[in-house]
Amino acid sequence: MNPNGKALLKENKRYYLLDSLRGISIISMIAFHLCYDLFMIYGINTSWYFYPITAVWERSICVVFILVSGMCLNFSGNGIKRGILLNLAGFAVTCVTVIAEPNQAVWFGVLNLIGCSMMIVSVLSDNLKKIRPLSGALISFLLYAVSYDVPKGYVGLFGLDIVKLPDFLYSCKYLAFLGFPSSDFFSTDFFPLIPWIFLFAAGFYLWNFIVKKNLTKYFELKIPVLDKIGRYSLWIYLAHQPIIMGILMLAMQPR
C-alpha cells in the first residue's frame, strides 16, 4: 500500500481495488484503536489486548497494510522521496505521542517501517527484479515467516521457535528498529525492519506476478466509499487517533 493514496495510476488506469483494500484496512485500524483506547487506556477491560482474536485482528490489519504498500511501490515514481516523507510523518507521530502520552509513545511505527522499506527496496529494485516474481514472492514470504519472532529473540516459523539468537544482539536499544529490541524497549506501535520488510518485499513481487499473469484487470474494480477512504489513508492515519482520544476525553474520565 502506498499510504499517501497516490501513484496507483499506470497506463491511464487506476487500480481501484488497491485503494479499497487500503480503505478496509484503515476502517479496521480505526475500530481497533478505538477498542484499544477504551479497553486499555481507560481500563474497561485490560485483558482484551491478550485475547487470541485480538491478536488475529491486529495482525490482519498490519499484513494487509504492509503487503499492499509493497505492491504499490511499483507505481511510485520516486520511492526514495516518498520513503523520506513517510519517515518524517512517522517521526511526527513519535514526537506527538512522546509529548502527549509518554507511556503510549510510538517508536518506529508502521509509517517508519513502510518509509524505510520503500527506500531500501527502491535502491535494490533493479537487482530484485532479476528474480522471477513468483519465486521472489515465495522467498520473501518464507523469510517473513522464519524471521517473525526475531524481535523476541528467536528464528523459527510463526511462533515455533527453533533457534535462539545471541543475547548481545538485544543489548542495545538503538538496534530496535532493525528487529533487535532491548529488554527495556517499549513502543505501542512497533514494526521493525525484521521481519516486516520481507512482507513488504513480498507485496512488491506479488504485483509483478499479477502483471505477468495479466490479472491487473481484476484490480480495476471500484468499490464506492472504500476507494475514496483508501486514497486519503495517510491523512486519516495521522488524524484518527487524536480525534478518537479527543472524543473519549470529552466522554469519559480515565480510571
Q: How many whole angstroms separate alpha carbon 212 and alpha carbon 171?
A: 45
0.85 surpassed by pTM: yes
Tell me if 150 sits within 8 A of 166, measured CB to CB. Answer: no
Q: Smallest Cα–Cα separation from 113: which of 165, 151, 153?
A: 151
Q: Smallest Cα–Cα separation from 24: which of 200, 236, 197?
A: 236
Using CB atoms within 10 Å of the CB of residue 194, give its burial: 0 to 12 exposed, 13 to 18 middle, 19+ buried: middle
Q: How many whole angstroms separate alpha carbon 18 and alpha carbon 203?
A: 12
Q: How many whole angstroms separate alpha carbon 132 and alpha carbon 50?
A: 40
Residue 102: predicted pLDDT? 83
Residue 161: predicted pLDDT? 83
Residues of the chain with pLDDT below 50 are 1-7, 9-11
CA of residue 226 relative to chain centroid, distance: 19
* Crossing angle for the helix pair 79-100 and 110-128, to the nearest 10 degrees: 160
Residue 5: predicted pLDDT? 46
Residue 199: predicted pLDDT? 97
